[in-house]
């Protein structure tokens, strides 16, 4: 089994109001696709197993869609979190933000190195590739900015695993600190 490097291309069309021209810009994202846990490093494999375990304990009585996240910190500690639903939607919280916020609260100023995300559906088997929502992607971007280097993002499923190096490969047109000044 070998890993596969893949690229997705997005075409963006910009059309200014005052001028009549169009400029086509291509954005590319890169990820590596693996077919099995056995192809991964021990570190990545362990992180995925922690995310899967966290997903089992998610509180998802309404959707049945359980998500687990495992965050590897710069000091070697792994912090996990899972989604927490609430009857008063949107009072719940996603697994990724649960884990990242807990990590930051317990280990302030310790950088995030990697995050693994895994999902389980109602039948308790890992489902399709875990895809973080927009809010979680933006929170990951904030912690990557704090770390000052790309955070490894591992998206897990039963038949494949995607590894992305940095949030720009998951959220290419994101908000940055400079955008809110």
Give the residue numbers marked as catalytic: 96
Please list the residues that pair with 59 across neighbouring strands.
84
Q: If we measure between CA atoms, which residue out of 63, 44, 28, 49 comes closest to residue 133? A: 63
Q: What does the alpha-carbon distance between residue 107 and residue 72 come to, in Å, rounded to a whole number?
A: 11
* End-to-end alpha carbon distance in the chain: 48
Evaluate whether 60 touches 102 at the Cβ level (below 8 Å).
no
C-alpha 74 chain-centroid distance: 17
Please list the residues that pair with 179 across neighbouring strands.
none
Computed on alpha carbons and rounded to an integer, the radius of gyration of the chain in Å comes to: 17
Q: Distances in Å between the alpha carbon of 16 and those of 10, 23, 160?
A: 19, 9, 41
DSSP label at 110?
P
């Amino acid at each position: 089994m070998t890993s596969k490097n893949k690229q997705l291309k997005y075409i963006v069309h910009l059309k200014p109001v005052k001028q009549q021209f169009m400029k086509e810009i291509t954005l590319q994202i890169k990820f590596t696709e693996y077919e099995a846990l056995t192809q991964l490093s021990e570190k990545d494999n362990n992180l995925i197993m922690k995310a899967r375990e966290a997903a089992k304990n998610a509180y998802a009585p309404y959707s049945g869609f359980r998500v687990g996240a495992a965050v590897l910190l710069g000091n070697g500690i792994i912090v996990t979190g899972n989604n927490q639903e609430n009857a008063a939607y949107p009072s719940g919280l996603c697994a990724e933000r649960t884990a990242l916020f807990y990590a930051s609260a317990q280990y302030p100023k310790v950088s995030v190195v990697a995050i693994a995300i895994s999902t389980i559906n109602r039948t308790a088997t890992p489902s399709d590739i875990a895809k973080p929502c927009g809010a979680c992607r933006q929170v990951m971007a904030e912690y990557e900015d704090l770390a000052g280097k790309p955070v490894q993002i591992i998206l897990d499923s039963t038949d494949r695993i995607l590894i992305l190096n940095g949030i720009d490969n998951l959220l290419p047109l994101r908000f940055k600190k400079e955008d809110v000044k």
